[in-house]
Structure formats: structure tokens, C-alpha cells
């Protein structure tokens, strides 16, 4: 899946008015479709065509494969692709919708009694729902394993007085069996945390196609070095690689696997694209690795930067993080690779003080002479006030240098103009998904 370039876009596949209305419903009301829902709405042939033209994208979830409306589809439906919310929000919207179907719950219909419970919360996550416990405020989340226990605890503290006084339940839907149950038990007078995970497999006749599109089978990687002889030394794509990575590519498969595993452990996460680029390996070559396939925006502020990608990690904890956190890890790792820094914990540490804060860099390089160098990956969401605050904080912490990496050339050009004179070297383009 290739991101759409900025500028006016043409409709590459005309759609009918009926299809336009169905895609509008998908986007505004349903969030995402199961494969079965997509087949019912569009028919098998048309669904295949819209997937081929990247109007719709397939993303794996704990419920099964879901269909999301992508930038080309939004262009055909609305005439543009910029007005878009988070893809994860669409997935969670579909999770709540399908969970309500599973539980037999529904919002009050026109003419039915309602209590306007949504006025008690301002986040837009909750919906007033008819449940077996009466009208209740209901919210749910599928991505990252559902809401964290800490979030549920804060929510209970914030809504406790109102819910008890107004006599309604707050209900959290989650795919996780244990997360938040202790909080729900302590606040059982108004709070319920209900595990629900609808299963939405694709019909057998379509499942093979879905598998072929998203999880292509691959042949084993040959055991010999990826680069051998001398002919590659005249190829620009290899000459642009850092020296250490060139040496790795000249090693046998088993040694490349060892180096890749060290890098995944060092950075926390790696994209399958980086595994291929720097180690000439496939995810299937790595044992004990967790694989997370998804569709996400490489630059969240650019609604057309949607790509299908796969994250690799050794940490089960990281598999429960939001995909943008994994992307940030990969971006920081890409900077390390571009700087030709070996994955040595004595000289390099990602998130070296634990949970990231504005005043903390994404990673730190430790030089043998005692100097510290801060690495920062910027995916385009930082305001200039945040950029200034970070640079000031790094200076206050006596970092000898700050190395800044960004996710797209436009950001690179704009930031170079604004902060280039405050850095000792050029801003790096860290396109971790390539």
C-alpha cells in the first residue's frame, strides 16, 4: 500500500451512488466492517475490486479481519481524504458495535425513553445504551488489549459521584479477561467491566484470498550471505547503507538473524520492512518473535499516509501498546540504523528512563569519552512549542548533541528551516516502514 502524495486527487475507480452511501455508512456509523459485512454490502466481486484499488484495507484484529475505508475510498466517497479520524478509533467503533450485537444491547430508538447520560462525559467515547442493567453509559476498546486498569481507575474516580447520585451504571467493554476487574469489584455499585470479544471470521470461500493478501507464504531465506562477490558495490541502493549494515548483509543467514534479534531487543520493535532492508530477512526467519500486522498512518497528521505494515517485537508487553507507540519505537530504531550505531546496551539505550516524557529523549547514545547524545523521533505531531521545549530540556540535561529524525520529507524541510541552526547535523529522514 503506497501513501497518497499531497495535492488534488482524482477518483481512480468510479463508484455508484448506492456504493457511495454504503461507504459513507461504513465510515461514519460502522467504523469498520467484518469481511462478511463487506460481502453483504458490496458483493464479492466489487469487494475484491475495492480492495485491489485500495479503497478498502484489510487489518487483522483480535475479532478477525476488518475492512477500513482508506484514503482512495474517502476521495471517491467525499471528494477528499483529509477529513479523517484515527484508524484505531474506527476499529474500536466497530468493536463496540459488534459487542453490543453480541450482548443484545442497543441505543434507545426514536420515541423510546432516554436520560441524556452522555451529557455527563465530554470525551465522546461513551454512548447511552439500553442494557439489562437499565440505561447505562457504555464504552469499549479493542486496540492495545482494551482500556488500561489505570484508565478505568481514573474513570471510576471521575464518574463515581454522578453515577451514584443519578443511579446509572458505567459499563466498560473489554477483550481482556482480567484488566480492570479489581477496580470494577471495588466500585460495583455503579461500575461494570465486561469481557466481550465477538468472533468475525471471513467466510471460507473468501478466507484464502484474505490470507493471500495479508499473510503471503514465503520460501525459506537462503543460508549464504545476502551480498557476495563485488557486483553489488556498484549498486547505489547498497552504497547508501551504513558501513556496519553492509557488513551484516555480507554475513550468512544465521549471523544476520543474530544481529536482527539483537536489534529488535535493543529498539523494542522493528518493522518487517526494516528487517528486509537491513538484514535481508523475513519475519518467518526469527524465532520467538511477536508479529503485529496493521494499517496505520506513518504521519498521523497526514490522512493519506496510510500503509499496511507489520511490527516485530520480543516483548509481550509491547504487543499491548497502541500501534503508534510501536511506530515511534521503529522510527527511533531507524535513526539508530542510519547513524550506524550497534545494538549495544553499553552505548545505546532506548527510552532509557522508562516512560517517555516531553523532557526525555527517545533514546540516548553514550560515547566512550562520557558525552551523551539525545535521539528524538518526530512523526509530525509535535507543535513548535513542544519542539522548543524538548530542545531546551535536552540542553538543560547537558546532552552534547541532539539528533532529530522525522517521518516525511515535508517535515524534514520545514523543521530544517526552523531549528536546523540549533542542531549539529542535518535532520534525518527516518521512514521506518520502507
- Sequence-separated contacts (24+) of 20-24 with Cβ below 8 Å: 20/76, 20/77, 23/55, 23/69, 23/73, 23/76, 23/77, 24/77, 24/78
Q: Which among 293, 291, 329, 285 has a CA at the least distance from the CA of 313?
A: 291
SS3 at position 367:
coil
Helices 253-267 and 323-338: crossing angle in degrees, nearest 10, is: 120
Q: What is the DSSP letter of 434?
A: -
H, E, C per residue of 345-359: CCCEEECCCCCCCCC
**Structural fold of domain 1-84:** Arc Repressor Mutant, subunit A (1.10.10)
pLDDT at position 9, please?
67
Task: Give residue for cell 471521575.
Answer: 158
pLDDT at position 302, please?
74
Taking residue 289's Cβ as centre, other Cβ atoms within 10 Å add up to 17
**Measured distance CA(430)–CA(407) in Å, rounded:** 5
The CA-CA-CA angle for residues 309, 6, 50, to 5°, reads 55
* Tens digits of residue pLDDT in 165-218: 999 999 999 999 999 999 999 999 999 999 999 999 888 878 767 666 555 556
Count CA atoms closer than 13 A to 333's CA, side-chain side.
30
Say whether pTM exceeds 0.75: yes
Cβ(69)–Cβ(8) below 8 Å: no
Residue 1: partners with Cβ closer than 8 Å, 6 or more residues away: 54, 57, 70, 295, 306, 307, 308
Parallel, antiparallel, or unpaired: how do β-strands 372-378 and 134-140 relate?
A: unpaired
pLDDT at position 11, please?
83
- Kindly state the average pLDDT of the residues 53-59: 93
Cβ(296)–Cβ(307) below 8 Å: yes
Query: In this structure, is the dihedral angle defined by the CA atoms of residues 407, 354, 279 and 222, taken in order, positive or negative?
Result: negative
Checking if the pLDDT of 6 tops 60, the result is no
pLDDT at position 96, please?
98
Q: Which among 341, 332, 158, 125 has a CA at the least distance from the CA of 242?
A: 341
Taking residue 120's Cβ as centre, other Cβ atoms within 10 Å add up to 17
Exposed, middle or buried: residue 22 (CB in 10 Å: 0-12, 13-18, 19+)? buried
* Tens digits of residue pLDDT in 132-160: 999 999 999 999 999 999 999 999 999 99
Checking if the pLDDT of 113 tops 60, the result is yes
Q: Which residues pair with 131 in a beta bridge?
A: 134
Mean pLDDT computed over every residue of the chain: 91
Checking if the pLDDT of 3 tops 70, the result is no
H, E, C per residue of 230-280: CHHHHCHHHHCCCHHHHHHHCCCHHHHHHHHHHHHHHHCCEEHHHHHHHHC
The CA-CA-CA angle for residues 64, 303, 27, to 5°, reads 50
Q: What is the DSSP letter of 189?
A: T
User: Which grid cell is 381?
Assistant: 505531531
State the virtual CA torsion across 332, 336, 337, 338 in degrees, nearest 10. Answer: 90
Q: Which among 408, 409, 403 has a CA at the least distance from the CA of 391?
A: 403
**Measured distance CA(260)–CA(270) in Å, rounded:** 9
Q: Band of the pLDDT at 237, cuts 50, 70, 90?
A: confident
pLDDT at position 228, please?
87
- Sequence-separated contacts (24+) of 155-159 with Cβ below 8 Å: 156/183, 156/186, 156/187, 156/191, 159/120, 159/121, 159/190, 159/191
Exposed, middle or buried: residue 351 (CB in 10 Å: 0-12, 13-18, 19+)? middle
Amino acid at each position: 500500500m503506497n501513501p497518497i502524495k499531497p495535492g488534488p486527487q482524482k477518483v481512480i475507480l468510479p463508484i455508484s451512488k448506492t456504493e457511495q452511501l454504503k461507504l459513507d455508512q461504513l465510515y461514519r456509523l460502522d467504523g469498520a466492517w467484518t469481511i462478511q459485512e463487506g460481502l453483504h454490502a458490496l458483493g464479492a466481486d466489487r469487494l475484491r475490486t475495492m480492495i485491489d484499488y485500495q479503497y478498502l484495507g484489510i487489518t487483522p484484529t483480535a475479532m478477525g479481519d476488518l475492512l477500513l475505508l482508506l484514503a482512495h475510498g474517502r476521495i471517491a466517497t467525499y471528494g477528499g481524504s483529509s477529513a479523517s479520524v484515527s484508524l484505531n478509533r474506527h476499529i474500536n467503533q466497530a468493536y463496540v458495535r459488534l459487542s453490543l450485537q453480541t450482548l443484545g444491547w442497543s441505543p434507545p430508538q426514536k420515541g423510546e425513553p432516554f436520560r441524556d447520560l452522555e451529557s455527563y462525559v465530554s470525551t465522546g467515547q461513551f454512548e447511552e445504551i439500553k442494557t439489562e442493567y437499565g440505561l447505562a453509559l457504555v464504552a469499549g476498546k479493542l486496540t492495545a488489549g482494551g482500556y488500561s486498569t489505570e484508565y478505568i481507575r481514573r474513570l471510576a474516580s471521575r464518574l463515581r459521584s454522578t453515577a451514584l447520585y443519578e443511579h446509572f451504571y458505567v459499563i466498560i467493554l473489554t477483550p481482556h479477561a482480567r484488566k480492570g476487574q479489581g477496580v470494577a469489584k471495588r466500585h460495583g455499585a455503579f461500575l461494570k467491566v465486561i469481557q466481550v470479544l465477538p468472533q468475525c471470521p471471513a467466510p471460507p470461500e473468501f478466507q484464502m484470498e484474505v490470507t493471500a493478501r495479508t499473510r503471503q507464504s514465503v520460501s525459506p531465506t537462503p543460508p549464504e550471505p545476502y551480498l557476495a562477490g563485488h557486483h553489488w558495490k556498484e549498486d547505489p541502493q547498497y552504497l547508501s547503507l551504513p558501513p556496519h549494515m553492509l557488513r551484516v548483509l555480507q554475513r550468512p543467514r544465521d549471523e544476520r538473524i543474530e544481529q536482527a534479534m539483537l536489534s529488535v531487543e535493543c529498539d523494542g520493535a522493528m518493522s518487517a520492512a526494516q528487517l528486509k532492508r537491513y538484514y535481508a530477512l523475513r519475519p518467518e526467519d526469527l524465532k520467538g518473535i511477536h508479529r503485529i500486522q496493521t494499517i496505520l498512518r506513518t504521519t498521523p497528521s497526514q490522512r493519506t499516509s496510510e500503509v499496511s505494515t507489520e511490527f516485530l517485537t520480543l516483548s509481550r508487553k509491547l504487543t499491548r501498546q497502541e500501534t503508534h507507540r510501536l511506530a515511534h519505537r521503529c522510527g527511533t530504531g531507524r535513526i539508530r540504523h542510519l547513524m550506524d550505531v550497534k545494538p549495544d546496551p553499553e552505548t545505546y539505550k532506548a527510552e532509557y528512563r522508562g516512560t517517555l516524557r516531553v523532557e526525555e529523549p527517545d533514546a540516548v547514545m553514550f560515547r566512550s569519552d562520557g558525552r551523551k547524545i539525545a535521539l528524538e523521533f518526530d512523526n509530525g505531531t509535535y507543535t513548535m512549542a513542544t519542539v522548543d521545549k524538548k530542545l531546551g530540556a535536552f540542553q538543560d540535561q547537558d546532552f552534547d548533541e541532539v539528533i532529530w529524525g522525522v517521518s516525511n520529507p515535508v517535515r524534514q524541510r520545514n523543521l530544517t528551516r526552523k531549528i536546523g541552526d540549533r542542531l549539529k547535523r542535518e535532520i534525518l529522514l527516518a521512514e521506518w516502514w520502507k
